[in-house]
Amino acid sequence: SYELTQPPSVSVSPGQTARITCSRDALPKQYAYWYQQKPGQAPVLVIYKDTERPSGIPERFSGSSSGTTVTLTISGVQAEDEADYYCQSADSSGTYYVFGTGTKVTVL
Amino acid sequence: QVQLVESGGGVVQPGRSLRLSCAASGFTFSTYGMHWVRQTPGKGLEWVALILFDGSNKFYADSVKGRFTVSRDNSKNTLYLQMNTLRTEDTAVYYCAYGVDYSNFDYWGQGTLVTVSS
């Protein structure tokens, strides 16, 4: 089965840069997407198609892709960015969806 | 604006059934594929099912295939998830969601909690 692996946690001081990786176990044929989820809330899309940012998402959120790894970068982290972050993609059929294991970002 | 409102969650015994509903508004429901995604308490997200815009095709996660059935009523702008032979591991918050295309999930409901326990 298709898997996406993320580090369980990332800690960062305010104003610093947080980088969250998502490793796929196969060469990518589908784009990756990133979601932010705060306690008690539904996930919110923050990056789509590896690098694109939806309207309304702050510019400090960016995405990149290299080989089998995609990365979410939060530049100039703010306290409000403390949340769980999940990557998501699909298998080669495009109709079987997979989420990463999730990363808890703690702002120190 | 887009609204997705789930209902039907509750406490149910293992082996029993439950049907979830998702009422949609603020977009043309009949033109989008719809998903169910679940989240086990304190754990991660798991995609459950997809139904195409016209209900012509349905896709399921291996963990629910043969037990869960997704359906929709485009005349009522409502998505359903029929869950049969429930197991304790099906305990989760169930979200309905959709994306502008079939690749991801742009919009989410607030979720409904299903607890499977004896």
Range B46-72 average pLDDT: 97
Tell me if B26 sits within 8 A of B77, measured CB to CB.
Answer: no
- Give the residue, A90 or A77, on which the prediction is more confident: A77
Is B50 part of the contact surface with chain A (CB cutoff 8 Å)? yes
Q: How far is CA A55 from CA A31, A44, B34, B35, in A?
A: 18, 12, 22, 22
Range A36-41 average pLDDT: 95
What pLDDT is recorded for position A24?
Answer: 85
Is a pLDDT exceeding 70 seen at residue B10?
Answer: yes
Indicate the residue type of B5.
V
CA distance B22 to B111: 9
CA distance A38 to A83: 5
Q: How far is CA B45 from CA A101, A102, B86, in A?
A: 8, 8, 18
Of A43, A96, A98, the CB nearest to B59: A96
Is a pLDDT exceeding 70 seen at residue A18?
Answer: yes
Contact A86 B47 (CB under 8 A): no
B16-20, B38-42, B71-75, B112-116: least confidently modelled range: B38-42
Q: How far is CA B116 from CA B7, B57, B63, B85, B102, in A?
A: 16, 28, 15, 10, 30
Contact B104 A45 (CB under 8 A): yes
CA distance A92 to A28: 8
Is a pLDDT exceeding 70 seen at residue B79?
Answer: yes
Q: Where does residue A12 fall: left (phi above 0), alpha (psi -120 to 50 degrees), or beta otherwise?
A: beta
What pLDDT is recorded for position A28?
Answer: 60
Of B44, B47, B62, the CB nearest to A97: B47
Mutate to test the interface with B, among A33, A97, A101 (most CBs of B within 10 A): A97
Contact B44 A86 (CB under 8 A): yes
Tell me if A101 sits within 8 A of A8, measured CB to CB.
Answer: yes
> E strands, chain A, where?
4-5, 9-12, 18-24, 33-37, 44-47, 61-66, 69-74, 83-90, 97-99, 103-107
Is a pLDDT exceeding 80 seen at residue A27?
Answer: no
What pLDDT is recorded for position B13?
Answer: 97
Contact B103 A43 (CB under 8 A): no
- The answer to whether the Cα torsion of B97, B98, B102, B103 is positive or negative is negative
Indicate the residue type of A90.
A
Range B22-44 average pLDDT: 94
Contact A100 B104 (CB under 8 A): no
On average, the pLDDT of chain A sits at 93
DSSP 3-state of B88: helix
Instruction: Please report residues of A whose CB lies closer than 8 A to that of B104.
Output: 31, 33, 45, 48, 88
- pLDDT band, residue B48 (cuts 50/70/90): very high
Contact A102 B45 (CB under 8 A): yes
What pLDDT is recorded for position B101?
Answer: 82
What pLDDT is recorded for position A67?
Answer: 87
